[in-house]
Amino acid sequence: MSNPFVRIVEPLDPKQPLKKFFNLSKLEDVRYARLPFSIRVLLEAAVRNCDEFLVKKGDVENILNWKVVQHKNVEVPFKPARVILQDFTGVPAVVDFAAMRDAVKKLGGDPEKINPICPADLVIDHSIQVDFNRRSDSLQKNQDLEFERNKERFEFLKWGSRAFKNMRIIPPGSGIIHQVNLEYLARVVMDQDGYYYPDSVVGTDSHTTMIDGLGVLGWGVGGIEAEAVMLGQPISMVLPEVVGYKLLGNPQPLVTSTDIVLTITKHLRQVGVVGKFVEFFGPGVAQLSIADRATIANMCPEYGATAAYFPVDDISIGYLIQTGRDKEKVMCTKKYLEAVGMLRDFKNSSQDPDFTQVVELDLHTVVPCCSGPKRPQDKVAVSDMKKDFETCLGAKQGFKGFQIAPDRHNSVVKFNFEDCDFELGHGSVVIAAITSCTNTSNPSVMLGAGLLAKKAVEAGLTVKPYIKTSLSPGSGVVTYYLRESGVMSYLSQLGFDVVGYGCMTCIGNSGPLPESVVEAITQGDLVAVGVLSGNRNFEGRVHPNTRANYLASPPLVIAYAIAGTVRIDFENEPLGINASGKKIFLKDIWPTRNEIQAVERQFVIPGMFKEVYQKIETVNESWNALDAPSDKLYTWNPKSTYIKSPPFFDGLTLALQTPKTIEDAYVLLSFGDSVTTDHISPAGNIARNSPAARYLTSRGLTPREFNSYGSRRGNDAVMARGTFANIRLVNKFIDKQGPQTVHFPSGEILDVFDAAERYKQAGHPLIVLAGKEYGAGSSRDWAAKGPFLLGVKAVLAESYERIHRSNLVGMGVIPLQYLPGEDAGVLGLTGRERYTIVIPEKLKPQMNVQIKLDTGKTFQAVMRFDTDVELTYFHNGGILNYMIRKMAS
């Protein structure tokens, strides 16, 4: 059908009549001017795609009518302009595409229909680990080892870039996906097929939201949903509520963007924004650089929102020029945004749109802080850190407790490292990492860290040699300006050499600690500490031997490394005593905002960005030397332990199977609150006594060759065995932490995979019980694929994080939610019952279903298929099955 909105298409420039756009400001509808800017992006996408099958004029009307329908679960389609992937999620996506081509061919279709139809950029940033540090050749040695471990995965990805159109690979060593997106990939306004329109993106990483800081609407989705988007399927979403977050005032001189985002994270967790958009406004926004805004938007998953949007303003336009974008294109970008009423002036309150709810933060009230020891929302003012940690030591085991007996709080273990004697206690820092796109994308905090390092070295301070220090910038630009400004050598003197360009410690690729340090921690059962400038600190994520992990700004990471402990009051206790016997306090070496800004103005310049990014796809010689086939169908190697054809499409036919009632299911695991995707499908090291290790050993591999779970996501046999394999897993059936459960028919305590296999062989379906915020954290699709392969048919939880619920839907696993006011405790559920979940013949979104127990008890739960499209996926056995049938027919 023809587009009913063609009347509002006009050329941006009369001299360029072929360059057109949809001028929504000419809708002559008062509702448009009151829409949140984030909703205007959804509206423009709907108008632009209105002549396509799944986007109808009624969808456009619903978006225009947002203020009225926002609470009514109205479903709208959204087609983002781009998709981005990183290699941990990208490898399984390309594996799925390769397997889908095989499946389409078997069903008589054209396998080449399985191909991205929108631009897809895959940045390899998750594979490099901190194996070497504190040496000048750490970067090269870590990169060499990365290629040695991952050569097969990289060859597979290179095949994908040749076999699929519209798929670009950014080689390893280039930087972190979200920083590369911010500095290079993002367009802000697309210029494609003769039209200008707002850039938008979904990514297979939860921190895709970082790009919201530049005014590009984006959020993370599961890999399976991203695959469908790449194949042309719109995202089916409930029109979200939009929380307006009003920023006022100016930050205090010692406050960093890290302090601001940790404050906002705690605040919005208390407000409750899961499933909602957050849009920032108010005069305080104008006080923040794009890097500051990107830091705040980056941690959107940690406060639970879908998106954290900063509309484009003149500062955004200035950033595009600063980062070396084409000036003529930038001017067209500004002209387009002005024409459609989407260029924001944060000081002009008459532009403030309507919001579902408004909350405020006075930036002047923010103080220097950290978050931890186990969750990003648990903010602690730096002035309270010592007292807070010591309280956590004795508190009951939990998010803020380690349950250490009072008489052991001051325990000390002596050890020897490099022929010198040292001692560790509770609170000793053993990892200090400047890492993650959250902070390394921000020149002010990175130069702040460099200037602090310079002053520390000049004052005679050092970092103890056993502390694992590292610096992993998000792009080569960071190294460029740190070196040019003269601070790189001082960072190196404190042990913060560049160890790689990737996520590294932030995702658990922190590498090994010295053996003597591990022995001391184990011997004393010590609560050792990691301090990192990352975005997540869930238990077991950063390193198996750091039970406490704190998120902090890069300057504070260095400060705690110098102190060697978090049990320090920086205001009253010195960081250290130099060779002259002088006490040096943190305030003595903390750089002023004016110092930092002066260096930033001089050294962070467009030429740096142009020089780094013009050669980003060709600079890595090891990548260039990789040989890969160009066949359209992938030739699977049965001997591979990295790449394996998944079983998801085995036996798939064009005919649909009617969903059946789940009868007499056993509970595989019973959880409390805040079970993360790290608990469900860890990304880090593979324990030597795990089912995955036993499988790899049986294939002839040694422990040195195991690599990580994240690197093995192209092999379902490893990933199924790695599901619920987190060493910090807390299962209510077991009285200690660990990846085990009870196999109820026998009463045996087994590894989770082994128990699931027993159930599967006996033909018993499984479910999982959980509390609030089930599936928080990373967007990893294996947190849904893994349980699916274990035989889990449904999850019953108090609430879900958005992406994980979507991933469960995508795999055909039923997300069930307790009715309001109910949970396992209220209903008296122990998890030792057997559960029958009645699936009616006619299903509708968010309907209640009946659950019967073998005890005779019956109750109801909400079936969290939120839209009709999600029900369609469920009837097909998942979103990928739906796409295969669609392509094959």
Residue closest to 674 by CA, chosen among 805, 771, 814? 771
Please measure the distance between the N-terminal and C-terminal CA atoms of the chain and give it in whole angstroms.
Answer: 22
CA 322 remoteness from chain centre? 27
- Model pLDDT for residues 616-673, shown as the tens digit of each residue: 988 899 999 998 888 999 999 999 999 999 999 998 999 988 899 999 999 999 999 9
Distances (CA, A) of 222 to 43, 208, 248: 23, 11, 35
Residue 862 φ/ψ, nearest 5 degrees:
-85, 130
Residue 556 φ/ψ, nearest 5 degrees:
-70, -30
- Distance between CA 708 and CA 706 in Å, rounded? 6
pLDDT at 55: 56
**Residue type at 755 in one-letter notation:** A
Residue closest to 41 by CA, chosen among 271, 242, 314, 321? 242
- Distance between CA 154 and CA 157 in Å, rounded? 5
Q: Which helix (H) or strand (E) covers residue 623, if one does?
A: helix 621-625
Least confident of 380-389, 560-569, 796-805: 796-805
pLDDT at position 258 over 90: yes
pLDDT at position 17 over 80: no
Sequence-distant (6+) residues with CB within 8 A of 30 are: none
- Distance between CA 498 and CA 446 in Å, rounded? 13
User: Do residues 866 and 847 touch, judged by C-beta distance below 8 A?
Assistant: no
Least confident of 52-61, 126-135, 738-747: 52-61
- Distance between CA 552 and CA 570 in Å, rounded? 14
- Distance between CA 795 and CA 784 in Å, rounded? 10
Tell me the average pLDDT of the chain: 93
| 16 or 773, higher pLDDT | 773
pLDDT at 6: 66
Structure token digits, residue 621: 């010689």
pLDDT at 51: 59
Domain boundaries, the chain: 6-78, 241-311+346-367, 369-611, 662-888
- Model pLDDT for residues 424-477, shown as the tens digit of each residue: 999 999 999 999 988 988 999 999 999 999 999 999 999 999 999 999 999 999
Burial of residue 747 (CB within 10 Å: 0-12, 13-18, 19+) is exposed
pLDDT at 54: 47
- Distance between CA 235 and CA 226 in Å, rounded? 9
- Model pLDDT for residues 164-196, shown as the tens digit of each residue: 999 999 999 999 999 999 999 999 999 988 889
User: Do residues 870 and 805 touch, judged by C-beta distance below 8 A?
Assistant: no
- Distance between CA 810 and CA 630 in Å, rounded? 30
pLDDT at 212: 98
Report residue 28's pLDDT band, with 50, 70 and 90 as the boundaries. low
Give just the sign of the alpha carbon dihedral 217, 219, 224, 225.
negative
**To 5 degrees, how large is the angle CA 84–CA 610–CA 300?**
35
Q: Which helix (H) or strand (E) covers residue 86, if one does?
A: strand 82-86
Sequence-distant (6+) residues with CB within 8 A of 377 are: 265, 266, 269, 302, 303, 371
Structure token digits, residue 605: 């310049």
**Residue type at 824 in one-letter notation:** A
pLDDT at position 4 over 80: no
Distances (CA, A) of 68 to 41, 239, 341: 18, 11, 22
pLDDT at 375: 93
pLDDT at 16: 75
- Model pLDDT for residues 490-532, shown as the tens digit of each residue: 999 999 999 999 999 998 899 999 999 999 999 999 999 999 9
3-state secondary structure string, 736-754?
A: CCCCEEEECCCCEEEEHHH
- Beta partners for residue 498, in sequence order: 471
Report residue 22's pLDDT band, with 50, 70 and 90 as the boundaries. confident
Residue closest to 707 by CA, chosen among 145, 138, 245? 145
70-98 average pLDDT score: 91
pTM for the structure as a whole: 0.89
- Model pLDDT for residues 812-836, shown as the tens digit of each residue: 999 999 999 999 999 999 999 999 9
pLDDT at position 3 over 80: no
Pick the CATH number of 662-888 from 3.40.50.2300, 2.120.10.30, 3.40.1280.10, 3.20.19.10: 3.20.19.10
Structure token digits, residue 68: 């009225």
User: Do residues 192 and 622 touch, judged by C-beta distance below 8 A?
Assistant: no
Superfamily covering domain 369-611: Aconitase, domain 3 (3.30.499.10)
User: Do residues 320 and 336 touch, judged by C-beta distance below 8 A?
Assistant: no
pLDDT at 45: 87
Pick the CATH number of 241-311+346-367 from 3.30.420.40, 3.60.20.10, 3.40.1060.10, 3.30.1330.40: 3.40.1060.10
